[in-house]
Structure 1
Amino acid sequence: MTESRLLISNPALLHKEFTPPFPAFILLIQRRNEVLPSQSRQTSWIRCYDTNKAASEENAKPNKGYFGRDTIADAAAKIAPAVASLYAPKRGQNVDAEIGSGTAIHEDGYILTCAHVVFDTTNVVYSADGKVVVHLQEAEKEVVGHVADAYADLDIAIIKIEKPTSPLSTAKVGSSSKLRPGDWAIAMGCPLSLQHTVTLGIISCVHRMSNELRRGGMMEYLQTDCAINPGNSGGPLCNVDGEVVGVNVETIKPDKASGVSFAVPVDFISAILKPFENCQSPVRPDFGWVMRNVSDGVLVRMVIKGSPADRAGIRTGDVVVEFNGKQVRDLKEMMDAMGERSGAPVKVCVKRGGDALGPLTITFVEKDVARFAANPRSRF
């Protein structure tokens, strides 16, 4: 019996047909070696486009040319001096306290943070009557600040510390409107009271609605996968240019999910921030009130004694129904009506006990008017 054999007339063709292709990464390396000179292969630079500012691929421009090993560190270094740790002792308790973070937004001593850091947003009960201990990276010691403004349903508050002897380093505010999923995101703050902590991630979603998070209202959030922990709340979310694009507010509990965190987009609160950015006149641009939504307008939950709102005759329990000549039914409409006030007097109409009052004129306080205790730097 003869043994049958398979005769191949063209061994080279058989080799080509049955040899598996090289893995994709090998082909990529081979192509890279063919295209790039040897000197380029030794660098760590990667081409990077500024997707935070580019409206389309046609007008996308390189962001400083390249994305390198120092890009994130340089961005963090730009904003680090403006990042503060906050410590808000709870009423009647000397040990237990709420911890959080903040960002200096004006050289005279205004700090942006979350409302829930400084008081219970459900009942709006101030921690230690609105006093907050503030520690900035460039300061030698802690100082005591007070809540200047708060908007509970936005979870945003402004803290005012005594005007420093030298201007504070402030953060540059960017824009959140052109962020895209996949853009780099840098979270900064003081989680668990660990000063000067930086975490890195990406923008996971740019329009996460509050109803998706089983919250009321019509808020929008930036979703990121940056590590956010207790104490990060109120700290800045930044882009690779070191600009603030959001305010970190919370994260999903670790036992339910990982890498799901949220921030308030800066463009959503631009009406609160612009007066501090544009404040060139000798006035304090804060109102001195705590606000939250109710069914028929915006409720004044608290008026800070001696503040512009207090001087105008606005009282706790008033409901703002008109602001700068425009009807307001919620905080979003109030933000739209605020516009470019920048220290200009504001006319407000309110309801008090069912009666309509107004317009009441809010005139902002001169910067050099003292609003603090005789020894504001003392610890309590």
Structure 2
Amino acid sequence: MNSNKIISTIALILCVFSINAQDLSSIYSKVNPAVVVIYTQENSIVTNGNNESTQVTTNNLGSGFLISRDLIVTAAHVVKVPESLKVLFVDNEVINAKVISTYQSADIALIKLEHPKINPTTVTFGDSDSVKVGQQVFVVGAPFGIDHSLSSGYVSGFKRQSMGKNPFTTVDFIQTDAAINQGNSGGPMFNLDGEVIGIVSHIATKTGGFQGIGYACSSNLASYLLLNNKMPWLGGELHPLSPEETAILNVPQKSGLLVQRVASGSIFDKMGVKGGTTEAIIKNRKLILGGDIILTFNNVTFEVTDQSLIDIANVAKDITKDSNFQITVLRNGRVITLKY
């Protein structure tokens, strides 16, 4: 290749980069006001050097995005069991919010502002099924608390479990090399049309930092679960017990849900559900013991099977503030019924 061809090739590459940068800058300026920073306070159980467990308050942050005047989508792990939930907008307005619905397996959540945002900028979901490997995307969020930071990259793959009737095990993640770090969770992944095609979830890492592999829940799954099939937030952090764990804890059935924490003012809190009090390690897994173990939802026995989880989901999605709802729990060796 002669020098003229080399110069022409370099000029073409620089031109393409310049066009892409200009396009990204223009799209970013339009969608950025819809991106928010989410601050939470949670009560956690920690164990000190004397093996004494105490309750402490922890502060956490994540990202999210506005889809209407008062609804925000984020990641489920950003809003596990918040005692306090505040949303910071790009204009520095702060509005309190509450959790409406969460799906842990998909790592998505819907929260509602205490009052609507005036003159809001909102974003819409794009069709994540049309996304292809090699497509350029960009992420906006608050990595390490640095507000409204942009990172760009490409779709590098997918991690999927076929959608069925069981919303607790449905998985549909888009893999990307766009930089994702602590604080990005819950933020939007955009295509070059400014549509949200993913909700930032987690990274694959051996060091704790970003190593080129990040995942975002697909927009189609998020839309289906949060907007069309939304299940109310009960307000508890739950651990599904394995048959081995139920045997260790003397649970009178093969599975159950160990209550780790309960948020104040939530449905579970109003029902009197108790969270754990003591940290322990069972089979190399850190758990909080001493809380209730949920055995049934409205007489549906909890089991780690698709049909049981589908039945429980059908019960939960019909719960409203006026619903009659009950669970049975194992507490201090006794089975008791709690009603809502």
Q: Distance in 2 between matches of 1:300 and 1:227?
A: 35
Q: Distance in 1 between matches of 2:130 and 2:169?
A: 23
Which residue number corresponds to residue 103 of structure 1?
65
Which residue number corresponds to residue 122 of structure 1?
none
Out of 136, 140, 162, the residue aligned to residue 184 of structure 1 is 136
- Map Cα deviations across residues 41-94 of structure 1 (whole Å, 9 max, x no partner): 799469xxxxxxxxxxxxxxxxxxxx6542212222232111110111232656
- The answer (yes or no) to whether the contact 2:179–2:214 under 8 Å persists in 1 is yes
**Residues 179 and 166 of structure 1: is their aligned pair in 2 closer, same or farther, counting only changes over 3 Å?**
same
TM-score (norm 1): 0.57
Report the identity percentage.
23
The yes-or-no answer on 1:26 pairing with 2:44 is no
Which residue number corresponds to residue 155 of structure 2?
203
Where does 1:151-190 land on structure 2 (aligned, <5 Å)?
151-164=103-116, 166-190=118-142
More strand per residue: 2
The yes-or-no answer on 1:75 pairing with 2:15 is no
Where does 1:103-252 land on structure 2 (aligned, <5 Å)?
103-107=65-69, 109-119=70-80, 126-127=81-82, 129=83, 131-138=84-91, 140-164=92-116, 166-207=118-159, 217=169, 219-252=171-204
Larger Rg: 1
Q: One-letter code of the match for 1:112?
A: V
**Residues 26 and 252 of structure 1: is their aligned pair in 2 closer, same or farther, counting only changes over 3 Å?**
same
Give the root-mean-square deviation of aligned CA atoms: 4.9
Aligned-residue offset at 1:242: 0.6
The yes-or-no answer on 1:287 pairing with 2:232 is yes
- Map Cα deviations across residues 282-328 of structure 1 (whole Å, 9 max, x no partner): xxx87343587858999796698587x999x9989453769xxxx95
**Residues 254 and 42 of structure 1: is their aligned pair in 2 closer, same or farther, counting only changes over 3 Å?**
closer
- Map Cα deviations across residues 78-111 of structure 1 (whole Å, 9 max, x no partner): 32111110111232656x411110111221x221
Q: One-letter code of the match for 2:71?
A: Y
Q: Distance in 2 between matches of 1:77 and 1:115?
A: 27
Q: Distance in 1 between matches of 2:178 and 2:311?
A: 27
**Residues 142 and 202 of structure 1: is their aligned pair in 2 closer, same or farther, counting only changes over 3 Å?**
same
Q: One-letter code of the match for 2:125?
A: V
**Residues 29 and 102 of structure 1: is their aligned pair in 2 closer, same or farther, counting only changes over 3 Å?**
same
Q: One-letter code of the match for 2:225?
A: I
Aligned-residue offset at 1:227: 0.4
Q: Distance in 2 between matches of 1:262 and 1:160?
A: 25
Which residue number corresponds to residue 260 of structure 1?
213
- The answer (yes or no) to whether the contact 1:208–1:223 under 8 Å persists in 2 is no
Q: Distance in 2 between matches of 1:185 and 1:332?
A: 38
- The answer (yes or no) to whether the contact 1:290–1:300 under 8 Å persists in 2 is no
**Residues 314 and 93 of structure 1: is their aligned pair in 2 closer, same or farther, counting only changes over 3 Å?**
closer
- Aligned pair count? 276
Q: Distance in 1 between matches of 2:257 and 2:102?
A: 12
- The answer (yes or no) to whether the contact 1:288–1:303 under 8 Å persists in 2 is no
Q: Distance in 2 between matches of 1:298 and 1:74?
A: 51
Structure 2: gaps of 5 or more residues: 44-54, 163-167, 243-253, 275-293
Q: Distance in 2 between matches of 1:165 and 1:201?
A: 31
- The answer (yes or no) to whether the contact 1:293–1:330 under 8 Å persists in 2 is no
Aligned-residue offset at 1:209: 5.7
- Map Cα deviations across residues 208-236 of structure 1 (whole Å, 9 max, x no partner): 569xxxxx955231110010010000100
- What is the SS of the residue equivalent to 1:70? helix
**Residues 26 and 274 of structure 1: is their aligned pair in 2 closer, same or farther, counting only changes over 3 Å?**
same
Aligned-residue offset at 1:345: 11
Q: Distance in 2 between matches of 1:158 and 1:44?
A: 41
- The answer (yes or no) to whether the contact 2:141–2:147 under 8 Å persists in 1 is yes
Q: One-letter code of the match for 2:5?
A: I
TM-score (norm 2): 0.63
- The answer (yes or no) to whether the contact 2:106–2:172 under 8 Å persists in 1 is no
Q: One-letter code of the match for 1:26?
A: K
Q: Distance in 2 between matches of 1:298 and 1:221?
A: 28
Q: Distance in 1 between matches of 2:192 and 2:108?
A: 24
**Residues 303 and 134 of structure 1: is their aligned pair in 2 closer, same or farther, counting only changes over 3 Å?**
closer
